[in-house]
Structure 1
Amino acid sequence: LIEDLSFDADPGHTVAIVGPTGAGKTTLVNLVMRFYELNSGKIMLDNRDITDLSRADLRSKVGMVLQDAWLFGGSIMENIRYGRLDATDEEVIAAAKATFVDRFVRALPDGYDTIIDEEGTNVSAGEKQLITIARAFVANPSLLILDEATSSVDTRTELLVQQAMAALRSDRTSFVIAHRLSTIRDADTILVMESGRIVEQGNHEHLLGTQGAYYRLYQSQFAGPAEDVDANPDTAAVPAVAAGATVASDMAPEAKEETE
């Protein structure tokens, strides 16, 4: 899927990756997490090849918020604490406050002891996503992956989820994969992919100014009736799927993430 992909993610920076459904954005996540291995190239985390780390050690440094929020049968407190099992009640509540979970939990009769059923049908889609963001927050990962984390919520709830994700990304190296370009305007670097290669990279203002692939993608969402990039696949960017990458987290400020 990917050839000649190479980039750096500086400590504390947010790297956004844009492209249509099915082009392999989530493959990047799978490669970084070592759900499967590279055929060639390498991914470096703080100047260490991730294949030199055990999968458990690697994944302990990474927090993920995915498109489909996953909750288990148990209390809201337990669902948030699942991010770090030794977290105190105070740390869980602090994470909930930072990610706007506390606002709706306080209105529930049983508060943080409210039991979520196994299907999560007694909380809204937006509340589910906020709980998973709080779970990632309490885990305090050095590397954060947000994979289309706002795509399952309505536009009204999206702003709240964006604010929660901004709190989560603070001082943390982050990869954000998104269809809605409104969620990645403030990214330090935006990677625009076509046919398995990076065709453009830069921040939002720079890429709009070049009026290239990102500009066309942006126009397809905000200058016309179609909101999904898949509505115009000819002008959409094919996402980043790393054949090799290096990641620098806030744990080692001098390190850089580069994909080779």
Structure 2
Amino acid sequence: MLETRSATYKMMKEEANDERQITDWPPPFSSETTPYNENDFGTLIRRTCENKSLTLRISKVIVIGDVAVGKTSLVNRFCHRLFDNNYKATIGVDFEVERFDILGVPFHLQIWDTAGQERFKCIAASYYRGANVIMIVFDLGNLMSLMHCQQWLNEASRSNIGPYHIFLVGTKKDLLTHPVYEIIEKRAIEAARRMRAEYWAVSSRTGNGVFELFTRVAALSFHTMVLREMQSLKLEPINIGSAMISLKKHSKTEMKRQRMPKCSKCPT
């Protein structure tokens, strides 16, 4: 029995590792429900990643929303491939660190699962600072939880100057009939546009859309961090022949030294 469980766990771990190797740009839930227009990593980023010269910090994802909308179920489905109907309300905050391999570069998401209960808001809010991704979660079967999403975003935004990506995620999609879901979806898409967020609808029970969501989150966050790292290193593209490479900019002092002519009367 123990050997069977061990083999099953090993197989699940290998499958998860395969899913977290990203080489192609992951699509949004719908091209009509996202403010993020990137559709590829780009040649320069791919070449920079090939050189293995990047040291990226962990990307912080905060998961916020009303109590009982399915935040913990969403995180556990992605991180542990588990679903449990009997989750207890999160007390304060909890977090997971998940690794991806993007274009051959190790990249980590630190996912903070925050409490939705009013009495824990002050505790949870102290962990909002420094977020790279704000994920606001609501229950597709509870319109009141959707109405509260703007307030959750406002509270998280006060702790973050930016830049950060915003995702509006509807959970428990499996509990809705298709006609009912279509009605809710229209309202959710309108809310996402007002919030300038990318909209997703998922089911933690079945796993539908969950891995695709976090893959998308990882890719967008990675893309932004690589660009920021390249800018901080002052890397700029230079065409040499048919190839594009990146060279480090020289400082003004170095440029002056290179351009200063030698004195013909001075001893060499």
If the length of structure 2 is used for normalisation, what is the TM-score? 0.31
Normalized per residue, the structure richer in helix is 2
For the pair shown, which has the larger CA radius of gyration, 1 or 2? 2
If the length of structure 1 is used for normalisation, what is the TM-score? 0.32
Structure scoring higher RCO (CA < 8 A, sep ≥ 6) equals 1
